Structure 1
Amino acid sequence: MPKIECKRCGTCCVKGGPVLHVDDLPLLDKKIIQARQLVVIRQGEPAYQPASDSVEPAACEMLKVQGVAGSWQCLFFEAATKSCTIHVNRPLECRLLQCQDPAPLLAVSGRDCLNRRDIMAQDDPAIPFIEAFTQCSWHTVHSLLEELDATTLLEIEKIIRTDLFLREEAVHSLKLSLAQELFYFGRPMFQAFCHAGVELSFERGMPRLHLR
């Protein structure tokens, strides 16, 4: 059987950075990867799933390497040279990924994923804010979407607005950078929300939802 070799095209890196697993904890302990370089994908958040090659609710909380310039392109990818700045110490998913044979990567996808509390200090001042975010559950949003009407739409809109209010309060109180905000709270819900029957707009800086 011929040996599979990476073509160094950078396609996988441009599509997005890896999700971290328990095997990647040493990279965090050694500061090769730091919390401020990660974005949390909250449980239930719409996210790309390699197994189905589609966007589906995340089955569990995950930590993913942040992108650059508003894209998902991996933070550690050097586009000019098509190289990885931490290649020698690359995470598990990067070591397993083979374009010609996705089976090894799919075997670990969604399993033994790291979450925020795995790498946060027990006295991290952001913990109370993270706990407050249980008010903004993606599970609740998906349940409301199953019975979509004007009333449930208002409930979803309230959740999305609460998400913004809580993160603004946390950013102000803890003086968080954007990178820190993404680690602690992930993307604002309005950025990840997508439904064929709902149109999202903004009025006076706040998200509004409308039935199509």
Structure 2
Amino acid sequence: MGKHSQRGCIRCGTCCRKGGPVLHHQDKEIIRAGHAGYQHLITIRRGEMAFDPLSNGLRPAAQELVKVRGRGKEWCCAFFDAARSACTIYPHRFRECRLLKCWDPADLLAVVGKETLVRADLINPGDPILEMIALHERECSCEEVERLIAALSTPHHRDKALARLTTLVRRDLALRLYAERELGLCPDYELFVFGRPLFNYLEARGVSLPLVAPRVRGE
């Protein structure tokens, strides 16, 4: 098949294997109707390094994003059935999935970063978990983590940056554990509520903190 010759989906599954979609406000009804739940979602926090389709590379997220998580530690969308090369919620698929045409990405690129959901859009007002999210953002921000990662390249600041990163990782784990034990947070919802554990995030960024025990919740 020659370049640009395709004008329809051949169900190869390539797009689904690259990761789940970011959610937009039009997608709230899919969650409310129960076609997808918190256990299928992960939050990309503001300042977190993430793939930007507009620049086709990694860059710090300019805003909080909620997206469909992968399966286990894979990028593959949680709703992709590899055996059938099909989406398990196809009639109720998300906006970005409806817009995606791999042979012509213009429609999808036009909505990137626009009218996207944040966690508070999907959580009932007054739910105490919202206070925990706000506390977590204040005390374990991705912006600070990235500044500390940058400081690791300077020998004069390396030890201090490592010590601070260790403190942040421990605080991150402590807040997650508190939410689970004291607020009854379902462990399957952790990646939606808090995003990736900092320990895992740092590992992906090539930073190892051997004195901190990991507590992994999936992706």
Pairing 1:205–2:213 present: yes
Q: Which amino acid aligns with 2:141?
A: S
In structure 1, distance between residues paired with 2:97 and 2:52: 16
Bigger Cα displacement from structure 2, 31-40 vs 70-79 = 31-40
Shift of 1:57: 1.3
In structure 1, distance between residues paired with 2:70 and 2:204: 24
Q: How many residues align?
A: 206
Q: Given the alignment, which residue of 169, 172, 178 partners 1:160?
A: 169
Structure 1: gaps (5+ residues)? 208-212
Q: Give runs of aligned pairs for residues 6-21 of structure 1, distance below 5 A.
A: 6-21=9-24
Change (3 A) 1:155 1:175: same
Corresponding residue for residue 138 of structure 1: 142
Q: Given the alignment, which residue of 185, 199, 202 partners 1:176?
A: 185
TM-score by length of 2: 0.85
TM-score by length of 1: 0.87
In structure 2, distance between residues paired with 1:48 and 1:94: 17
Structure 2: gaps (5+ residues)? none
In structure 1, distance between residues paired with 2:161 and 2:198: 16
Corresponding residue for residue 38 of structure 1: 41
**Is the 8 Å Cα contact of residues 170 and 212 (structure 2) preserved in structure 1?**
no
Q: Given the alignment, which residue of 68, 72, 79 partners 1:69?
A: 72
Q: Which amino acid aligns with 2:145?
A: V
**Is the 8 Å Cα contact of residues 135 and 159 (structure 1) preserved in structure 2?**
yes
Corresponding residue for residue 63 of structure 2: 60
Shift of 1:127: 1.7
RMSD (CA atoms) = 2.3
The percentage of aligned residue pairs carrying the same residue is: 40
The structure with the largest strand share of the pair is 1
How far does the alpha carbon of each residue in 1:145-192 deviate from its partner, in whole angstroms, 9 at most, with x for none? 444422233222222221111111212213333321111111101212
Bigger Cα displacement from structure 2, 175-184 vs 8-17 = 175-184
Shift of 1:29: 2.6
Change (3 A) 1:68 1:2: closer
**Counterpart secondary structure, 1:193:** helix
